[in-house]
Amino acid sequence: MEEKREYCEEIGSTGTLVGTGIVGASLINQEFFENLREGVQHARHLGKTAYDFATGGPEGMKAARNLEEALAIVGEARENNSEARAMFEDYFLQRREFVGSLVNLYRENETISRVAERLKIQIEGTLKNFFEAGNSLKPEIMETLDDKIIELYGMNPAEARESSGRLKEFYKHIREFYDAREKNEHVVKEFCNYLADVKNESVAQNERFNELFPDVIVRVREGYETEDILHETGDKNAFGLRGNVSQKDLDRTGEKALHFERGVDNTYDSVREEMPIEPYSKPVWIDYSINPVVVGICAGLTAKGLTKLLPAFIEKQIKKTLALPFTSLAKGLGYSAKQIKKLIEKNKNLESKV
């Protein structure tokens, strides 16, 4: 019986905290969730950059190297087969040249300094949006206090907020660029993997495949050129962190990110017309997970976990208090069930006498 009561209190207290969390989260303004969602998207790109660095580079780079190795093996086999050498000489040599250019392009650009700058700007984007999410929770009275603090640093509050808004929009362009770059890496990976795995296509088909290589290479090069511009944009402080982005620079970065995204979409469509590559699906779990219900549940479970860190006698009292709505309801339902059972039995006795 004691064990059953403990179990009910555990479930009841968790339900109270989760319910309170959901209600509280539903009262938060939408701006908080938009900023939080944007910050998590930056954090996801940050994690992917770290993973790529630890595993030998972006997925397109790894696939290009694998294709280069596969072509080297095919090249050795051709030396012993004069018929195959005559039939595939032209497209084979051209393809090997294309793949070599693609691998060299990756090798020249995927440097430690670039990866470090990529990580830094993604960290900045993550922190900026998490800061904005927290800032959106402040009561209005805090804005007056913020204005006083900004003035103490010799800045105009209106100009400071305008600068902060431009910086936030800049990091949105950064995120959009890395979204497009992720899609482009998927295209390069699928393209190279297909060529490495499929060896029985006709000469005409292989020539059409080779015609796609220049566009694939151009898109990868354009990605690095755009990334250089984005990394160099903005006024940086003594710590190398961006403090301001002019409206002119903001407009330019938006145009560059959009231009690259459209180019990636065109390359993706061109490649899919010629070969059955795996379709690209943009991760949507962030969009579904950052909402009042999920955030409220996480907040409730986190609070429940924190109570477990308290001394046992305190945690027990808190659990008992939080579980009261559920335990009271359970007792009430139990009492009602007993009364209903008594009425049923009384009716049965009356019927049997009749």
Q: 78-137, pLDDT tens digit by residue?
A: 555 555 555 556 677 788 889 999 999 999 999 999 999 999 999 999 999 988 887 877
All residues at 6 or more sequence positions from 115 whose CB lies less than 8 Å from its CB, including other chains: 49, 53
Q: 231: which 2 tokens?
A: 């990394």
The length of the chain, given as a count of residues: 354
pLDDT at 175: 95
pLDDT at 190: 94
Sign of the four-CA dihedral 20, 24, 30, 34: negative
- Alpha carbon distance, N-terminus to C-terminus of the chain: 41
Phi and psi of 236, rounded to 5°?
-110, 145
Residue 354, classed as helix, strand or coil, is coil
pTM beyond 0.85: the answer is: no
User: Which segments in the chain show pLDDT lower than 50?
Assistant: 332-337, 339, 343, 350-351, 354
pLDDT at 92: 77
Write b or e for each residue in 227-244: b if 16 or more Cβ atoms lie within 10 A of its Cβ, otherwise e: beebeebbeeeeeeebeb
pLDDT at 337: 45
Mean pLDDT (the chain) is 78
Q: What is the pLDDT of residues 195-217, one digit of tens each?
A: 888 766 666 777 888 889 999 99
